[in-house]
Amino acid sequence: MAGASTSETPARKFGTFGGVFVPNVLTILGVILFLRAGWVVGVAGLREALLMLLLANVITLLTALSLSAIATNTKVGGGGAYFLISRSLGLEIGGAIGLPFFLAQAIVVAFYTMGFVESLKFIWPDIDTRQVGSLVLLVLFVLAWLGTGLVIRTQYLILACLGLSLISFFAGYSPVPEWRGRGEAAYPEGYDFWRVFAIYFPAVTGIMSGVSMSGDLKDPARSIPRGTIWAVIITFLVYGAQMFWLTLNTERGQLLNNKMVMQEISVFPPLIMAGLWAATLSSALASLLAAPRTLQALAADRVVPHWLGRGTGKNREPRLALFVTALIAYGCLSAGDLNIIAPVITMFFLTTYGAVNLVAGLERWVSNPSYRPTFRVHWLPSLLGAAGCFFVMLVLNPAATVVAVLSCFGVYSLLKRRQYQTAWGDVRSGLWFAVTRLGLLQLAGTREHVRNWRPVLLVMVGNAKDRLMLVEFASALEARRGLIFLAQVLSGDWQKLLPFQAGQQRSLEEFIRDNRLSAVGKTVLAEDFEHGVSTLLQVAGVGPLQPNTVLMGWSDDAVKQSVFGRAIERILQLEKNLLVFRQASLPGELLQRRIDVWWRAKDNGSLMLTLAHLLQAAPRFRGHTLRVIRIINEEAGRAQTDQVMRQLLVDARITAESVVLVSREAPLAVISNHSGKSEVCFVGISLKLAIKEGGPLDPYAPLMSTLQGNVFLTKSWHDLEL
């Protein structure tokens, strides 16, 4: 399913100050500034409170830097953080983070609204919390409905109230004796540094408010870095100055017991209440403005139903998404106490911050040529920011962290099943390229040894849909320990076949994806089958990761054709292991549940035994008996041969049944008599027999017509270490 893009681009009209800086500042300077900062200074002391602030702001600043790097590398569309993450880590991961992030934004509207209503109780203790909260939400909804322009102008008024309250606070100066003594911590029972840090950390969150408005900015790539970083710096200075001012002007008892302690210092206490109202209302309004735009972007990419992203007017105002957001917020208000879901909200925000850092770090580390941000950040600070976010999540609330992670994983799994085909590239291909490149270079530098042999199969499938059993056996033999190259040769006139190559390649790749194979598709053009196989063996793979074994299907008609015989000879000349597969003529329920390996010499036997062992790991063959069978001419040698075979199996650490047969018949006749109905049979190819009797596979035609199970004719070019 293709990620949809909007056909109509909204008119972007907001600059750095109104579109990014103000929303960020108003969200960061929130409830904790007025109701919790004094208590934090009281219990932690000035030194450790400042350390908490510094630690929290380092994480926020690193996130802001990462956000700035990503925003200056791409044309930022609507949806803010979701847009940036989905275009870098892919739609599935973007949706897995974006959908919970939208819900968190919607729920936090109710959270801040409830905070505002709670502040009213300082003046009117008997008000009905739910009724007043619903009325406040309705007013905020109307402001958001009338458009972003009105909201931006309203935010200026709120910023003015907040500024006046801070001026009133810092204008108050009445230092108390021995204020330096309050620099030391005095944690009450049950509290320590990290627990208090967990309470204080949400104070510095909120830097996504500006990026959520990215679709309404004149120049997102310019405004997001400047507005976000300056918001982090200014609010850090405000919080730091507040901590120092509270310590200088207030007794510890007031800090611990008076939530509105800022009023005790302020030259005009009512302004502190006005600032608290401004902080709660601005945060609620910013979230009510940002959440619908996240939902609109999710709908545009069809992560949620497309109709949820319907826009109105030339600016494509997401009014339907706004209505959905308000309904969610109203439902949470009706539930009353938000203390249970508040930690989960914070987890979703931190998950988003961590993902932004991870995106920036991976993009820089992978070094895709297309990653050229004008605001450059080294990958190490970004990855440290990601680690810091996840660390803080665990410190804040381990249980809520688990809930958030499981929620994101659930959404990811659901989106992964939809198999989205997006119209943009993401960092995942670059990441795998970097890892593969590093791995190939390291692999090329190591000494190759048969002990480290893994099956890298070149499977000649032709039309893969007609050879499902061959592909199934190839997958079982590879056993997720090696690699499969599914190959097809288009033989004939090169010019006539060229237009069909791309389509055949896409069809082969779809087959691999639909069947979830550990395989790479390869389609080549050649004059005939022989030259096609020769070309594949020389060009498939890279460095040491090249096919070491060719698997092809048996065909009586093909065996009789000289071109097929020459292809077999070419495979053997290039010293590749050869497997020729003949599908069973009887259904599986009529065959005996065993895998037979006919041991003649170690050169073929070690490969066949290794492949049989890998085959046994597949669910279909897990309960099958593995028999290793040896033919000798004299009865006198049975005991010694049996002892040798048993010791070989012990040394190979493979559980199998050793069978020694005494017979003077032709080996192929003995095989026909004893493995006629075995479900799988491995038989080694003798080059001497092939040379003596004609084509390389001609001598085995009678055997293939006699055995009724699945047969592998096998030729190895080196011994494996068992």
d(CA 292, CA 102): 8
CB 476 within 8 A of CB 568: no
**Percent of the chain surpassing pLDDT 70:** 84
User: What pLDDT is recorded for position 235?
Assistant: 95
- pLDDT tens per residue, range 250-260: 988 888 888 88
Closest CA to 151 of 139, 162, 163, 136: 139
CB 583 within 8 A of CB 590: no
Q: Give 595's strand partners.
A: 626, 680
Domains and CATH numbers, the chain: 16-418 (1.20.1740.10), 450-580 (3.40.50.620), 584-722 (3.40.50.620)
pLDDT at 234: 95
Banded model confidence at residue 558, pLDDT cuts 50, 70, 90: low
3-state secondary structure string, 110-159? Answer: HHHHHHHHHHHCCCCCCCCHHHHHHHHHHHHHHHHHCCHHHHHHHHHHHH
Interval 264-314: pLDDT, tens = 899 999 999 999 888 888 888 878 888 888 888 888 888 888 888 787 777
Average pLDDT over residues 190-196: 86
> Are the C-beta atoms of 322 and 289 separated by less than 8 Å?
no
Mean pLDDT of 118-143: 86
* Residue whose pair of structure tokens reads 């001419």 in the numeric block: 633
- List pLDDT tens digits, range 560-607: 667 777 888 888 888 888 999 999 989 888 899 999 999 887 678 888
Q: Is the per-residue pLDDT at 10 higher than 60?
A: no
CA-derived radius of gyration, the chain: 35
The first and second tokens of residue 499, run together, are 């237009």
Select the more confidently predicted residue: 208 or 321: 321
Q: Reduced to 3 states, what is the DSSP secondary structure of residue 536? A: helix
Per DSSP (E only), the strands in 365-467 are: 456-460
User: pLDDT per residue over 495-524, tens digit each?
Assistant: 888 888 888 888 888 888 888 887 888 888
Mean pLDDT of the chain: 82
Q: Give residue 332's pLDDT.
A: 84
3-state secondary structure 163-206: HHHHHHHHHCCCCCCCHHHHHCCCCCCCCCHHHHHHHHHHHHCC
